[in-house]
Structure 1
Amino acid sequence: MERWTNRHVLLVLFMVITGAINTLLSKWADRTHAVGKTGYEAHKFDHPFFQGVAMFLGEFLCLIAFNVQRICQNRQGIEVDAGGQEFNRFIFLPAAMFDMLATSLMYVGLTMTIASSFQMLRGVADVIFHTRKLDINAVITGDLLIVMAQIIVSVQMVYEERFIKKYNISPLQAVGWKGTFGFIVLGLLLVPFYFIPMKSARNPESRLSDAIDAFQQMKNSWQICVATVGSVASIALFNFCGMSLTKEKSAMTRMVLDIIRIACVWVISASLKWQPVTYPQITMQIAGFIFINFGICLYTDFLVLPFMRFCVRLKNKFQTQNNHIVNVEGNQVDENSALIASNHC
């Protein structure tokens, strides 16, 4: 197994931090009330598809950063690694579609559930908290949407790992092209979404997606504006670090380490009182967190199975030593018996 370097540790650290920040900022925006295009009534920022476009915008910025980096290197006379340039850019179109569908489902689910539950479910577990302040039917629906999204995410991760390793593509470039396709497709879809009525939608005119209302709420609320811009920046850094880990390690490594975000989101969400903090709830969350990590350790052969194998080896070693001692003592007894018998003779 390839050893871990300081670079890998930093990638994991930044991935966890930026990922947790992205989840918390998205939930902060969802919880904020602001006046929209109606001009008189404040309502929650409930625009999951718009948030998805913002995410792809953050990924698209990685492509700009990649090209700026190459231009600077060329001007400075630095030899640029040409690896990863001979590939069809459209190989990232399916990845963008997987990402678009999964992200949209997750953002819709996030508007229905609590942040820590959202983050824990992103680690593929189901923890539902029965509280009076939350609509339990909405929470269950939101959680199920997030679980469905994770199935799509797993396909996306494996797909990305295959091609970035096959063509030795730069992580910045890979994230950038995926963001480009996602931004174009989902951005264009916002137009027909605006004309599709949806009674359950929580925007003023009950549309599937109302980007005009979203922009107006951003204009009228600095909190929503800061949360949205912060989400764009954090998702860019998060995806770059995650894609780097996928290329240098594996998609499995990325997904396993991403589970660390659960603790970060849970602690901050509880401290900000974004969710009820009661003894039964904390107990369920801790149990859920332990359950997730136990399953991960089993699947990745980390800690649990190695510890069990160590115990078995230790037990076998102890039994071997005992058998040896018994055999030695038995031989001594036989020799003494033989000596006594010969003396009697």
Structure 2
Amino acid sequence: MSNSPYYGAILATGMLVTGTANTLLTKLQDKQCVRNCADPDPANREYFEQPVWQTLNMFYGEMLCLACFYLFNVYRRRTTATAGYERIEDEAASDDPKAGSAGVQTKPIAGWATLWMWIPAACDLLGTTLMNVGLFFTTASVYQMLRGAVVIFSGLFSVLFLGHRLARFQVISLALVVIGVTIVGLSNIISPPPQVYKLHILPLDDTESIDTGAWKAALGVVLVLGAQVFTATQFVVEEKIIRNYHLTPLRAVGLEGSFGALTVMVAIPVLHVLIGRSHPGGYFDAPDGFHQIVENPAVWQTSIYIMLSIAFFNFFGLSVTNYLSATSRATIDTCRTLFIWMISLALGWESFSWIQVVGFVVLVYGTFVYNRVLTLPF
């Protein structure tokens, strides 16, 4: 199968479909009414707003990657490994030491050393939770476009903490990404989406005085952009770990999912005691969030779909990196933003904006230049 000329196209299509589905399903879950749904006034209805539970759901999806890793390991021991499986897994079934980026032999990560993966898991936890809250106040396409800002922070952090040097074209491309992200963010503030979500970050008594519309749209932009700082930190820490230990990508995702899920499960009751009990109905009201999930079939069914889409997205993404290239993966990841935007328009979740189109074009061009997909004319 892996020798087929269509194999790469199948992997790319799988990554594109599952990545697009992940963002759209999360936004669909946010749109589920959980209380006062029969009220004719939409302002009185309550929608699913549980970013912490959504983060836990994401980590469960990543944990499935660890299960896949061990299944491939068992399969390899019982059958003759084919070249296709070795390529998909990046030799995931083998824990033999590999040469690091500097040509230094690295040892397999095991025992207490695996706890290093808790650091990127914590960054993933903070970044994903902030993005989940930001998605309440932005459209799915703007949310996905703003996530492209991770290139800016990862580029800067790689210089500061990993000793990388940016070429001139990469500096220019990062400037283009900054311009594109700024335009996209402004488009969301100038033409904010209909606001049906309450600011449960604050005490409920204080939300009544907060103006809806542009202020919430700006908050959504800030939250999504701020989350990219944690995501970029996660990437830098992962690279630092991989320099010292041999760790296959699929196992790395699975370990992060396991550590992240454990952290969230411990944090949920603690945050409920410290914050949730005094702010009923808020983001940290654990019993309320649990009941919203189990008592609404559309919510828990969507949670299952999101979990599966995350697992398959990571699998297809790693397969594309190993079978094709990291550049191909970055290109496909950018293309899914376009599909998310078109589907959101078709579903009526957002309105067309030329400002957003301009920002998206500048953002994509800067990203493609940074990843060497395109070259600057000069």
- Cα separation, partners in 2 of 1:301 and 1:255, compared to 1, 3 Å: closer
Q: Distance in 2 between matches of 1:254 and 1:180?
A: 24
* Preserved contact between residue 171 and residue 244 of structure 1 (Cα < 8 Å): no
Task: Report what 1:192 is aligned to.
Answer: 270
- The TM-score with structure 1 as length reference comes to 0.74
* CA distance 1:137–1:221, shift in 2 (3 Å): same
Aligned to 2:342: 267
1:153 aligns with 2:231: yes
Q: Deviations over 1:176-229 (max 9, x none)?
A: 10101000011111112213447997xxx2434233223322333222122111
Q: Point out the structure with max Rg over C-alpha.
A: 1
Instruction: Output the CA distance in 1 between the equivalents of 2:319 and 2:96.
Output: 15
Specify the alignment match of 1:217 in structure 2. Answer: 292
Q: 1:73 to 1:298 in 2, by over 3 A?
A: closer
Flag the 1:232–1:172 CA change in 2: closer, same or farther, 3 A: same
Q: Tell me, what secondary structure is at the counterpart of 2:34? A: strand
Percentage identity across paired residues of the two chains: 31
Q: Secondary structure at the match of 1:195?
A: helix
- In 1: Cα distance, 2:325 partner to 2:256 partner: 18
Q: Structure 2 counterpart of 1:81, which letter? A: S
Normalising to structure 2: TM-score of the pair?
0.68
In structure 2, what is the Cα distance between the partners aligned to 1:224 and 1:171?
A: 30
RMSD of Structure 2 on Structure 1 (CA): 3.1
> Mean alpha-carbon deviation: is it higher for 23-32 or for 11-20?
11-20
Distance (Å, rounded) in 1 between the aligned partners of 2:278 and 2:215:
13
Q: Which moved more, 1:252-261 or 1:141-150?
A: 252-261
Q: 1:49 and 2:52 equivalent?
A: yes
Mean alpha-carbon deviation: is it higher for 205-214 or for 252-261? Answer: 252-261
> How much does 1:8 deviate?
5.2
Could you tell me which residue of structure 2 aligns to residue 22 of structure 1? 22
Contact kept in structure 1, 2:192 and 2:217, CA below 8 Å:
no
Could you tell me which runs of 5 or more consecutive residues in structure 1 were left unpaired when the two chains were aligned. Answer: 310-345
1:92 equivalenced with 2:130 (yes/no):
no
Aligned residue type for 2:136: T
Alignment of 1:13 with 2:13, yes or no, is: yes
In structure 2, the CA distance between the partners of 1:81 and 1:142, relative to structure 1 (3 Å rule), is same
Correspondences of 1:88-167 after superposition (within 5 Å): 88-124=113-149, 125-126=181-182, 127=184, 128-129=187-188, 130-131=191-192, 133-134=194-195, 135-164=213-242, 167=245
Deviation at 1:61, TM superposition (A): 1.4
Q: Which amino acid aligns with 1:297?
A: F
Cα distance between partner residues in 2 of 1:247 and 1:144: 34
In structure 1, which of residues 239, 250, 253 is the aligned counterpart of residue 314 of structure 2?
Answer: 239
Partner of residue 226, structure 1: 301
| Deviates further, 153-162 or 238-247 | 238-247
